[in-house]
Structure 1
Amino acid sequence: MGEGVIVRTVEEKSQSCPECGAAISADSRFVVWCGACDWNVDPQEPQRDRDRLDRARRALARRHGERLLTEFTAGGRPRARRDAASLLAFAIGLAVHGVTLALAFGGLWWLVRGWGGVGMLPGLLLLVAAWSLRPRAARLPEAVPALLREDAPEFYALVDEVAGVVGTRGIDRVVVDGGVNASVVAHGVRGRRLLVLGLPLWEVLTAQQRIALLGHELAHYSNGDTRHGLVVSAAYRSLTTWHYYFVPIEDPSVVEMVVNLFYAVPRLLLLGVLTLLDHLTLRAAQRAEYLADRETARAASTEAAVGLMDRLLVAGSVEVVLRREANRAALTGPRGARTAEAGGDEIWERLGAHMASIPENEYERQRRVGARRGHSVDSTHPPTHLRRTCLLVGPSLPAAVVTNEDRERRIAAELAGARATVGRDIVRDGFGD
């Protein structure tokens, strides 16, 4: 452990459960609870989604997740498929893009018809609307370290090996950021694949759990997820943009109240289409998540896939540690600035030490809280406890992709520059700022 790393004393507490009288022994840094009767297992009120659409997504995700879990555990082998709902979603996506195209052609017609006069104004307005609502591919993250294949051949080779196991091709580019997450997105007309690797998440995973993380993200491309398709995903972004344009004006004047009233009908119409797309694509997206989890277990082992789920349950601890370290550096003034400029490597050592010290009973508490609340990575994923249950059904799978200490050292050396840069940014600028 590097010089200056703070080791916090862990105080063990023993007491009797006030509900059932069972003996409780807990780490003082975490919630004290009873494993026998679930006393105090979830002391905080769950945060409610402010957005009505997001609440509806989560409720629907839980229902679909439970039904699909029943299918997966009933002995069958559900596969990715194009059902009637997926085809209808694809048709709606084409219709959305058709409206945008009609705006563009209408704008050109008015522009030519009214050339040189006031008649050009409607054409210009229609063209501006069409441009703002055009289908957009995923945007590349800006101002984050990028790793090209020639910069990180060992890391790319690992990704290629995992991709081969899950039945797809590798990635074209990697960017590393400070998020507690990872994702693979297609961008550009050619559909080039970009891996966005959140270094805080990568740092707290074991070698096999990292393979599981890569396998899960890449498996989305081999499981027919309609929502990740170019047509539907771009249509969804267009509809979200349209809906944003019709958001009511807050604290309106008399004139703005009239505008809000005028906006009500198109806003409700757009909300209805967005909700319909959610209903049509969510089941296929959830099936793809379960299938991706199975591919993850095949690539990295069932044990690593389940371990990844558990790490995601305690992701809040990662955020707490990073914020604490950033705040500590800010309070130390010039010394904190020197620490940041020195590379910020200590933040990763402290994070690793904290995550390694989380006791098993805290993981169990988080699993029970997740089951109560329906915890999921986001509003489109099946609840995490259902995904975990699905992985544990049936025989445990061995890893198809394994690594060793020498390969891990080479990958770590390739990521060292990004590690220092992201750590320095978190210490200097704050986590999540």
Structure 2
Amino acid sequence: MHTTAEESVRACPDCGTEIRVHGRFSAWCAACEWNIDPAPPEESPGRLARARRARTRRYSERLLAELTAGRARRDTASVLAYALALAVHAVTVAAVAAGIGLLIRGWGGFGMVPGLLLLALAWSLRPRLPRLPEDVPVLHRADAPELFALVDEVASVVGTRGVDAIAVDDMVNASVGTYGIRDRRLLTLGLPLWEVLTPQQRIALLGHELGHYSNGDARHGRVVGAAYRSLGTWQYFFHPYPEPTLLAVVVNAFYAVPRWLLAGLLLLLDLLTLRASQRSEYLADRLAARIGSTQAAVELLDRLLVSESAEVTLMREANGSALRGPGGNRRDDERIDGLWERLAADLNSVPEHERERRRRAGIRRGHSVDSTHPPTHLRQTALLIAPPVPPAVVSDADREGRIAAELAGARRTVARRILLDGYGA
């Protein structure tokens, strides 16, 4: 067996092929795929969750074939989803009307109680306007003019407008949404993802996220999104009592029928919006390639495949900081200031054979960002089978430097939170 500082070479125990073993990563064989997925994730709990994952994969494969053939168009499912969402909201309106009626009829007496209860129920089910996050740094145009200028440039190529605010958090992710009564636009950038991307991959990421505004995704729209939240609130009200007493057993049995009905409505709404949601992801990937280049968009998805490494690194950093305890202002400052460089160095040190293992394991698992996204390998396939495109937006070192300076305060705030409060706290 040959050895180096970090790597050794030995024979595969199954087929005898020579394999490289890296001290930080799992040993595996590219020839016979021995040990390619040594610790597969546990199956999602519940029959519905497993069925949802299998359904997502089937829809993704079918939609990829339709997109390749140029046949993927919007269908009536989205219209039915809106109709179902409006029916859910009609129940809330009916509760308000009934509550007001009972309140008037029973005014001054005990008859007011049912009316008040119905109004309290309707209040809990009301559609809520999203707000700007209060626990993470939020940047406006005056705070980061260069970053907003880049977002505006990407948005103009996508065919939409830019955003009104940019939130910066500690997630290995990015997303877009709205806030306030005027539907102002919010871009959320997870610094652990942003900091490990190249400039062109960052532009592809912005193209993907802003693409959601132009493609449309009913699941995250105000009407359907509020219906999801209302049904979730109903489920909370009818959740069975744990370790029930005799009376609670009776109540649980009484709750069973409405609980199953609510589960069925959520499943139906999920089915009706799944195709549109996945279509939106595929189209957003196309825009990412158009804005940042096909190569950058594919590399961005590769980064998402190794996102678990970023999370592990951040947890290790947070745990190490907690074990070391306060080291004085200077030592704390050094840890905080160097966090993002250490994270980027860790991910860049992942060898190619480990990246390939994760690609193959991802295909086996059907890896996706979440249960509503198409599997990552199918998203990459959709990009690679299309003609490669050059970037429509490019950056340079000077611009990257100015953007980094604008994010300096947020970088420090988020790093401090990870190291001193714990990752994900």
Q: Shorter-normalised TM-score: what interval?
A: over 0.9
Whether 1:161 and 2:153 are equivalent positions in the alignment is yes
| Equivalences for residues 13-412 of structure 1 within 5 A | 13-74=8-69, 76=70, 78-79=72-73, 81=74, 83-335=75-327, 339-341=331-333, 344-412=336-404
In 2, Cα distance between the equivalents of 1:121 and 1:127? 10
Closer, same or farther: CA 117–170 of 1 in aligned 2, 3 Å? same
Letter in 2 for 1:350: R
Structure 1 runs of 4+ off > 6 angstroms? none
Aligned 8 A contact 2:81 2:224 in 1:
yes
Structure 2: give runs of 5+ residues left out of the alignment.
none
Deviation of 1:229 after TM superposition, in Å, equals 1.9
Aligned 8 A contact 1:10 1:27 in 2:
no
Letter in 1 for 2:21: A
Letter in 1 for 2:20: S
In 1, Cα distance between the equivalents of 2:260 and 2:76? 25
Closer, same or farther: CA 87–178 of 1 in aligned 2, 3 Å? same
215-224 or 137-146, which deviates more: 137-146
Aligned 8 A contact 1:329 1:336 in 2:
no
Deviation of 1:369 after TM superposition, in Å, equals 0.6
Q: Encode CA deviations 1:17-68: one digit per residue, 9 max, x unaligned.
A: 1111111123221111111111110011322212544333211110000001
Aligned 8 A contact 1:166 1:219 in 2:
yes
Question: What SS does the aligned partner of 1:334 have?
Answer: coil
Q: Percent identity?
A: 64
Aligned 8 A contact 1:343 1:421 in 2:
no
Q: Encode CA deviations 1:278-328: one digit per residue, 9 max, x unaligned.
A: 111101111111111101100110111001101000000001111111111
In 2, Cα distance between the equivalents of 1:235 and 1:24? 52
Aligned 8 A contact 2:326 2:332 in 1:
no
In 2, Cα distance between the equivalents of 1:10 and 1:48? 37
Q: Structure 2-normalised TM-score?
A: 0.96
Structure 1: give runs of 5+ residues left out of the alignment.
1-8
Q: Encode CA deviations 1:67-106: one digit per residue, 9 max, x unaligned.
A: 01111223x2634x2x211111110011111110111111
Closer, same or farther: CA 165–335 of 1 in aligned 2, 3 Å? same
Deviation of 1:342 after TM superposition, in Å, equals 5.6
Closer, same or farther: CA 349–336 of 1 in aligned 2, 3 Å? farther
Letter in 1 for 2:14: E
Instruction: Look up the match of 2:419.
Output: 427
Aligned 8 A contact 2:199 2:395 in 1:
yes
Aligned 8 A contact 2:306 2:358 in 1:
yes
Closer, same or farther: CA 35–242 of 1 in aligned 2, 3 Å? same
Closer, same or farther: CA 136–51 of 1 in aligned 2, 3 Å? farther
Aligned 8 A contact 1:17 1:39 in 2:
yes
Letter in 1 for 2:375: P
In 1, Cα distance between the equivalents of 2:11 and 2:95? 69
Deviation of 1:343 after TM superposition, in Å, equals 6.9
Deviation of 1:341 after TM superposition, in Å, equals 4.9
Residue correspondences, number: 422
